[in-house]
Amino acid sequence: MLTTLVALFGLFVGSFLNVVIHRVPIGESVVRPRSRCPGCGTQLAEYDNIPVVSWLVLRGRCRTCRQPISVRYPIVEALTALVFGLFAWHFGWVWVLPAFLYLAAMGIALAAIDIDTKRLPDAIVKPSYAVAAVLLGGAAALDRDWHALERVALGGLALYAFYQVLLVVYPAGMGWGDVKLAGVLGMYLGWLGWGSLVVGGFLGFLLGGLLGAALMLAGRAGRKTKIPYGPYMILGTFLAVFYGERIAHWYRQILSR
């Protein structure tokens, strides 16, 4: 029941994320005006703004001008519902669940924006430090798990510092947006455990490297091609939520043999 309800909630959050993804990079308010067709400017009626369903009913076109509506809209909504549902299934109803639902929403929005614009807006990243601190800190206080709170602080500092060193050593490889995002992701990975912090950070590099190599082999990118790195950092963190401690335990077992 919890998983289903949270997934349904994720559909509507995903609808809002589509607004965030479109408006934040161009500096528009995400509150006003209401959603409208980018082609004719017609304000969408409530029945044309139902996540996924409206896009399917309208066959991917505006009701007024028949301009095509990007398939990305239902994909973002469905993906948000999926990640919300998986996080609810994984954690159950615990105090830290809202914190990780925020991580899911923030991560999906930033990944889409980075793919579109090759940047990670401060308007989302910087406030996420405060949101993560409040939600993770509140969960730690309610659970009286002060060690988790310590890991949150140290994890954020550690991953931020590590990415900052990488930026200094190889500035062409990433930008300041990646460094700032690393601090937020480090807070979440720290909550999960030290093993998850290491695994989540490593998975971001692994996934980004594999994609870059694949694009180069396919002739679609060169050594100087700029590839958005934020989505792989976020995906690595999402995977670490489910598998971080398991992978770390498995690796420790191998080393101890």
pLDDT at 216 over 80: no
65-74, 77-86, 220-229, range with greatest mean pLDDT: 77-86
Residue 222 has pLDDT above 70, yes or no: no
**162 falls in which pLDDT band (50, 70, 90)?**
very high
Identify which has the larger pLDDT, 170 or 201: 201
Asked if 223 and 175 touch (Cβ cutoff 8 Å), the reply is no
**Residues 57-70: what's their mean pLDDT?**
80
164-178, 190-204, 205-219, range with the lowest pLDDT: 205-219
Look at 193 and 50; give whichever has higher pLDDT: 193
Angle at 19 between CA 14 and CA 25, to 5 degrees: 120
What is the rounded average pLDDT of the residues 111-139?
95
Tokens read off for 19: 């607004």
Q: What is the structure's pLDDT at 224? A: 65
Range 64-74 average pLDDT: 85
- Does the bond joining 38 to the residue before it have cis omega, within 30 degrees of 0? no
pLDDT, position 236: 95
pTM of the model: 0.92
Ranking 18-32, 94-108, 186-200 by mean pLDDT, the lowest is: 18-32
Chain centroid to Cα 37, Å, comes to 26
CA pair distance 195, 55, nearest whole angstrom: 41
- Higher pLDDT pick, 40 / 27: 27
pLDDT at residue 256, rounded to an integer = 77
Q: Which long-range contacts (CB under 8 A, 24 or more apart) does 124-132 make?
A: 124/20, 124/24, 125/177, 125/180, 125/181, 125/184, 126/180, 128/102, 128/184, 129/156, 129/183, 129/184, 129/187, 131/102, 131/106, 132/99, 132/102, 132/103, 132/156, 132/184, 132/187, 132/188
Band (pLDDT 50/70/90 cuts) for residue 33 is: confident
Is the per-residue pLDDT at 219 higher than 80?
no
Position 13 confidence tier, pLDDT thresholds 50, 70, 90:
very high
The residue among 45, 108, 103, 50 whose CA lies nearest residue 76 is 108
31's CB contacts (< 8 A; 6+ apart) are none
Q: Percentage of the chain with pLDDT > 90?
A: 64
Torsion on CA atoms 218, 223, 226, 229, rounded to nearest 10: 80
Percent of the chain with pLDDT over 70: 96
Distance of CA 155 to the CA centre of its chain: 18
Contact 7, 82 (CB under 8 A): yes
pLDDT at 221 over 80: no
The rounded mean pLDDT for the chain is 90
